[in-house]
Chain A
């Protein structure tokens, strides 16, 4: 996908322009303007629709889709609000708050907050070999080997994608997702 010109929108405009989020049935969020975390939580949920996990990632057809949040419990709560009442490709969604050093077994997606920057590489390394989509919001994330990294540009939440680490972990990221990424890392386009 070719990268088109980018328009900058204000945060307020952004909120107004988030229909999927705005339409979430969560009463607590409908009346309040979306925060950055809320947007990121919504994005996390939406990323699941553009990534293909290997079949062995789920024990059963109705096994839960687990999202782990590392070192960001508040965000985890926002995320839980976001996913309430939703499913991921037929799988119920569960959010798990993780501490530093905790293993990622049984996880399908992990959000590693920038508060974990110190041990970022280590944490990400713990994912290695497992079909877990790693999402960071740190400048160091891509270098640390995260697959998707949120960036704030012109007060708008955007993200970069590094497909290689995902492929190494047997994850297929949809090209449609790549088309809306700010940057696709590790590839010459």
Chain B
């Protein structure tokens, strides 16, 4: 349809152009011809009429001259063979001499003759002619006829119409045939162009059928097609590349999205972790704050607790030294008792504080080993029995059961002593303390200490393990530091154990600890450093040499004096001393003492170095060396024991500790000698 439209349009246009040209040419030519013909006709017509009038005037002149009306009429009647409709001859005075009318002609003539000449009025021509003869005007001839020019025009129009129709018909046929010369190649190109557009086949080419402008058009079109083909090819390649790129980008985007979602998930997880750790931080902060608060309270409490016994010491000391205040022997003994009691209390306090400080600073190191519980319990019972006896409290220990636990021996003893000590202290007089040991399973051993004291209410239980909280016992006569349970709990936990308490007000309190059951580790190694139960050694030690030689290396005269006084009570020991390490080593080499007491803070060489020298020398390596030092920090103790000190006794010296250590060393020395 579209194709037909374009083609027919071009054809139609060409035909219309040709027909229009033909029509214009025809109209111009016909108009010129008709105009010329009409003009000639008009002139000829007028000339004919003039001639006819002239002839008739001359013919009718004699009749007019001689008044022959009949002749004149006869003359006029000759006009019936002409186109003249009417003729009149007027006399010179204007009257009608004679007249003629054709058949069916209206007798309408001018009443009077007009001016000579031809007049055209509408479709009629009027001719007036003077009749002159021999110089005399005889009258006037009037002729009337149709002006046939209009008829002729109409007939010409008809002819022209027929000619135009015929010509246009011929011209249409000719142009219909001729237009193909132009339209065929153009339509061929248009056809090719349409095919190219519809099928996108840029390989097609228009056929060049002539060398004229259409041929140039075809060439140009073909060149354009080549260019388009090339461009299209490039575009396709570029599009393919782009598609590929788009695909890659899409994949990359997908990947990025996956990564993003993963990232979001991780962020969410981290956020949750952060929130959790924030919560933990908040808790920790809260705990830290409360710990800080507790520490402040602890410091103020500690200050108070330290000052209280000092007050007694300093106070009674002033009384004893004052010369203005006389006192009896009994009073002196009493004062001294107070001073000693306060001093012991102060020492206990400092030890526990140091323990706590070490625990809290993480500097306390425990060496876990398999411990025979029976041995430890025996020690504890021995040590706590005197307090029970003082207040008439029954102490009930289990029979030997052979349980073993994974624990630090010394710390376990400290824990148990603390619990037992509390149970005794806060018991009622003539009450009882019951210690029980149970293997809960292969893993756990529970040791419980139950008293028959006042018991604790739940609020007190909550505050039980806080430093210096003596649960209302501050004002009582019972001595206490308020630190013991705190240290105990820390120690138990450091031994992978647990501690717990249950209490009934008025009935008593039960503390328990659970420790690792060491049953699965096999039998305990034979204790090397742990001495056999204390036995009275003195008589057994009496050998060839009456007294055992003890070397004391100490630079401080007051300490040296104190030890001399203490050992002076024992007649089985003989003390020699050195004021520095080198001198001590030489003395040891020279005299081979049974025991060496070694201070640590010595001028020049310290105690540890001296110990290693002693150990390195075959003459002295077997001599037990007991540390006797103010370096009471637990790691110093541990280090000293590790380096080879037989015992580690700290200043201020507890006389019992010292004598016990000396006894054990003597026992060891005796066992070796044996």
Residue numbers of A with Cβ under 8 A of B are 1-2, 4-7, 9, 14, 17-20, 22-23, 43, 46, 49-50, 89, 156, 159, 174, 176-177, 179-180
Inter-subunit contact B91/A7 (CB<8 Å): no
C-alpha spacing A48/B137, complex, angstroms: 17
* Known contacts A2-B74, A180-B62, A23 near B67 by CB under 8 Å: no
* Known contacts A4-B74, A19-B91, A19-B139, A176 near B59 by CB under 8 Å: yes
Inter-subunit contact B91/A46 (CB<8 Å): no
Contacts of A6 in B (CB 8 A): 70
Residue numbers of B with Cβ under 8 A of A are 58-59, 61-71, 73-74, 91-93, 97, 133-134, 136-139
C-alpha spacing A179/B136, complex, angstroms: 20
Partner of A43, one of B66, B70, B91: B66
Contacts of A22 in B (CB 8 A): 93
Nearest chain A CB to B150 CB, angstrom units: 36
Contacts of B91 in A (CB 8 A): 17, 19
* Known contacts A23-B92, A50-B62, A180 near B68 by CB under 8 Å: yes
Contacts of B58 in A (CB 8 A): 176
C-alpha spacing A122/B64, complex, angstroms: 35
Contacts of B134 in A (CB 8 A): 46, 49, 89
* Known contacts A50-B62, A176-B59, A177-B62, A20 near B71 by CB under 8 Å: no
Inter-subunit contact A4/B97 (CB<8 Å): no
- Closest A residue by C-beta to B66: A180
- Closest B residue by C-beta to A1: B71
Nearest chain A CB to B471 CB, angstrom units: 188
* Known contacts A4-B74, A19-B138, A20-B136, A46 near B66 by CB under 8 Å: yes
* Known contacts A49-B134, A179-B62, A180-B62, A4 near B70 by CB under 8 Å: yes
8 A-B residue pairings within 8 Å (CB atoms): A2-B74, A6-B70, A7-B70, A19-B93, A19-B138, A179-B63, A180-B62, A180-B66
C-alpha spacing A9/B72, complex, angstroms: 15
Of all A-B residue pairs in the complex, the 3 with the closest CB atoms, nearest first, are: A4-B74, A4-B70, A49-B134
Contacts of B62 in A (CB 8 A): 50, 174, 176-177, 179-180
Inter-subunit contact A9/B65 (CB<8 Å): no
Nearest chain A CB to B305 CB, angstrom units: 191
C-alpha spacing A101/B134, complex, angstroms: 33
Nearest chain B CB to A182 CB, angstrom units: 9
C-alpha spacing A6/B68, complex, angstroms: 8
* Known contacts A49-B133, A176-B59, A20 near B69 by CB under 8 Å: no
Contacts of A180 in B (CB 8 A): 62-63, 65-66, 68, 71
Nearest chain B CB to A29 CB, angstrom units: 15
C-alpha spacing A177/B67, complex, angstroms: 12
C-alpha spacing A9/B63, complex, angstroms: 14
C-alpha spacing A20/B61, complex, angstroms: 11
Contacts of B66 in A (CB 8 A): 43, 46, 159, 180
Nearest chain B CB to A181 CB, angstrom units: 9
Contacts of B136 in A (CB 8 A): 20, 23
- Closest A residue by C-beta to B136: A20
- Closest B residue by C-beta to A2: B74
Contacts of A176 in B (CB 8 A): 58-59, 61-62
C-alpha spacing A89/B135, complex, angstroms: 10
Inter-subunit contact A9/B69 (CB<8 Å): yes
C-alpha spacing A4/B139, complex, angstroms: 21
Inter-subunit contact B93/A4 (CB<8 Å): no
Nearest chain B CB to A183 CB, angstrom units: 13
C-alpha spacing A1/B75, complex, angstroms: 10
Contacts of A159 in B (CB 8 A): 66
Nearest chain B CB to A150 CB, angstrom units: 11
C-alpha spacing A69/B93, complex, angstroms: 32
C-alpha spacing A180/B63, complex, angstroms: 6
Contacts of B61 in A (CB 8 A): 176
| Residue of B64, B65, B134, B136 with most chain A CB atoms under a 10 A cut-off | B65
C-alpha spacing A159/B137, complex, angstroms: 23
C-alpha spacing A17/B71, complex, angstroms: 14
Given A19-B92, A20-B136, 20 extra CB contacts under 8 A: A4-B74, A5-B74, A7-B70, A9-B69, A17-B97, A18-B67, A19-B139, A20-B138, A23-B136, A46-B134, A49-B134, A50-B62, A89-B134, A156-B67, A176-B62, A179-B62, A180-B62, A180-B63, A180-B68, A180-B71
| Residue of A2, A50, A159, A180 with most chain B CB atoms under a 10 A cut-off | A180
Partner of B67, one of A2, A17, A50: A17
| Residue of A1, A4, A14, A17 with most chain B CB atoms under a 10 A cut-off | A4
Partner of A179, one of B71, B93, B137: B71
Nearest chain B CB to A140 CB, angstrom units: 23
Nearest chain B CB to A161 CB, angstrom units: 11
Inter-subunit contact A20/B65 (CB<8 Å): yes
Contacts of B137 in A (CB 8 A): 23
C-alpha spacing A43/B61, complex, angstroms: 14
C-alpha spacing A49/B133, complex, angstroms: 8
C-alpha spacing A104/B47, complex, angstroms: 48
Inter-subunit contact B67/A9 (CB<8 Å): yes
Nearest chain B CB to A128 CB, angstrom units: 27
Nearest chain A CB to B306 CB, angstrom units: 191
Nearest chain B CB to A87 CB, angstrom units: 8
Nearest chain A CB to B307 CB, angstrom units: 192
Contacts of B64 in A (CB 8 A): 19
Nearest chain A CB to B226 CB, angstrom units: 99
C-alpha spacing A177/B70, complex, angstroms: 14
Inter-subunit contact A14/B65 (CB<8 Å): no
C-alpha spacing A50/B63, complex, angstroms: 12
- Closest B residue by C-beta to A48: B134
Nearest chain B CB to A119 CB, angstrom units: 29
Contacts of B63 in A (CB 8 A): 179-180
- Closest B residue by C-beta to A39: B67
C-alpha spacing A22/B283, complex, angstroms: 168
| Residue of A7, A19, A20 with most chain B CB atoms under a 10 A cut-off | A19
C-alpha spacing A135/B582, complex, angstroms: 224
Contacts of B97 in A (CB 8 A): 17
Contacts of A2 in B (CB 8 A): 74
| Residue of A6, A43, A49 with most chain B CB atoms under a 10 A cut-off | A49
Nearest chain A CB to B490 CB, angstrom units: 183
- Closest A residue by C-beta to B77: A4
